[in-house]
């Protein structure tokens, strides 16, 4: 082979080697770019997930701050009538209008004609029957006074024959608060209005004022405290009945009592225990405690054997004889929060709430039909 051809071949080989080196460098650079791209994609997915999470938290925070707190239907003070107003005619019984209970006191009001001359012939008309209808009459805060008159008795013979004679006064029944103007009916009315109807004492003072009775808020508070002491034996009997059932419900909530203990703003706890919803004799007991420790539940539930439906608070675990069970309302609450934060219209939270709603519907049907626990199961 001539020398020139060998030189050209060598140069070509060198050029080929350079090109191969360039190709290898480009491939290496391409691999690096692919790795960067994959890492960037991962960062993008992670960042998008974080953005979605932060947006969900922001949405939930706004809902909790500005939205409705309760999961129930809204209740209003001024607009309640408008909320429940319906355009449908009122539903009556098959035989006509609603029949009012027989135990209500009846007041007869007679309506007669003042002119009995017949419009056709002018002769006098005679009574031939009546058309009866009833309406409800409500008298709020009816106040009356019980005047106790204890008669005194003396012996005429002793008055004439003895140096001294005794005067015997007829006793009156034992009073709930000796020396107080409070009758059992008054105590029951005040306590029921406060604890069953959530009517504060200062509002009751105003109601009594409109009825002509001037009584202080402090007096009403004293009545409530002493009434609580009077019914302690009844509460103990209710507790014994409650602990004899096979299943109970329990919950505790924070309550602030001013000027109590060393710290005036410290929080106490109101523990609530009640019978299950199929109990024939329902009992509800409020147990006021200074704390939220296991000892509070153990003391109240001492000797109980059965199920306890609660919110998952750990103090209920491990109490002897007690089997804690869950509550769908508490489980639903977390899904409700997730639904408020969810960006999709029908995501997993929506599916979960739909499932729980079906369970609630079955529970409502079972309650309306008054099914036994076995039939409900």
Backbone angles phi, psi at 33, to 5 degrees: -65, -40
**Structure tokens, 201:** 């004492």
What's the chain's length in residues? Answer: 377
Q: Are 176 and 232 in contact (CB under 8 A)?
A: no
What burial letters (b/e) apply to 159-196, b meaning 16+ CB within 10 Å? eeeeeeeeeeeeeeeeebbeeeebbeebbebbbebbee
Kindly indicate the confidence band of residue 87, based on its pLDDT and cuts at 50, 70 and 90.
low
**How far from 171 is each of 113, 149, 152, 180, 242, CA to CA, in Å?**
54, 10, 10, 16, 38
Residues in contact with 34: Cβ distance below 8 Å, sequence separation at least 6, in sequence order: none
- β-strand partners of 255: 268
| pLDDT at res. 145 | 93
| pLDDT at res. 6 | 80
Indicate whether 105 pLDDT > 70. yes
Kindly indicate the confidence band of residue 327, based on its pLDDT and cuts at 50, 70 and 90.
confident
Taking CB atoms within 8 Å and a gap of at least 24, the contacts of 204-212 are 207/140, 207/141, 208/141, 208/143, 210/141, 211/141, 211/142, 211/143, 212/143
Rounded Cα distance, 139 and 207, in Å: 13
Per domain, the residue ranges of the chain are 181-230, 237-326, 329-376
In the chain, pLDDT over 70 holds for what percent of residues? 88
Per residue in 10-34, pLDDT (tens digit) is 888 888 888 888 888 888 888 888 8
Residues in contact with 167: Cβ distance below 8 Å, sequence separation at least 6, in sequence order: 152, 153, 154
Rounded Cα distance, 312 and 330, in Å: 9
**Structure tokens, 175:** 């009073």
Rounded Cα distance, 356 and 363, in Å: 10
| pLDDT at res. 300 | 95
| pLDDT at res. 360 | 92
Predicted structure pTM score: 0.64
């Amino acid at each position: 082979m001539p020398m020139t051809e060998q030189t050209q071949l060598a140069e070509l080989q060198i050029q080929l080697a350079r090109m191969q080196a360039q190709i290898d460098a480009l491939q290496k650079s391409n691999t690096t770019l692919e790795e960067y791209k994959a890492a960037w994609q991962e960062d993008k997915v992670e960042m998008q997930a974080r953005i979605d999470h932060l947006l969900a938290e922001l949405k939930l925070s706004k809902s909790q701050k500005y939205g409705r707190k309760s999961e129930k239907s809204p209740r209003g003070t001024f607009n309640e009538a408008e909320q429940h107003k319906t355009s449908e005619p009122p539903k009556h019984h098959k035989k006509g209008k609603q029949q009012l209970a027989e135990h209500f006191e009846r007041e007869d009001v007679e309506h007669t004609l003042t002119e009995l001359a017949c419009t056709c012939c002018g002769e006098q008309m005679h009574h031939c029957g009546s058309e009866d209808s009833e309406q409800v009459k409500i008298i709020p805060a009816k106040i009356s006074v019980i005047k106790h008159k204890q008669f005194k008795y003396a012996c005429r013979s002793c008055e004439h024959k003895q140096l001294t004679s005794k005067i015997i006064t007829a006793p009156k029944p034992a009073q709930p608060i000796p020396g107080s103007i409070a009758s059992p009916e008054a105590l029951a009315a005040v306590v029921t209005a406060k604890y069953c109807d959530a009517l504060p004492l200062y509002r009751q003072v105003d109601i009594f004022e409109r009825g002509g009775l001037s009584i202080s808020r402090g007096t009403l508070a004293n009545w409530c405290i002493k009434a609580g002491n009077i019914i302690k034996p009844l509460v103990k009997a209710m507790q014994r009945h409650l602990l004899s059932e096979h299943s109970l419900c329990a919950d505790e909530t924070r309550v602030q009592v001013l000027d109590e203990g060393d710290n005036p703003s410290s929080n106490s706890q109101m523990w609530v225990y009640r019978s299950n919803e199929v109990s024939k004799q329902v009992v509800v007991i409020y147990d006021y405690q200074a704390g939220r420790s296991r000892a509070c539940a153990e003391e109240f539930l001492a000797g109980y054997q059965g199920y306890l439906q609660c919110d998952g608070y750990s103090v209920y675990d491990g109490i002897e004889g007690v089997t804690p069970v869950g509550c769908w309302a508490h489980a639903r609450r977390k899904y409700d929060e997730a639904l408020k934060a969810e960006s999709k219209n029908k995501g997993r939270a929506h599916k979960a709430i739909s499932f729980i709603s079906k369970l609630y519907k079955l529970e409502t049907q079972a309650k309306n039909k008054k099914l036994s626990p076995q039939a409900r199961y």
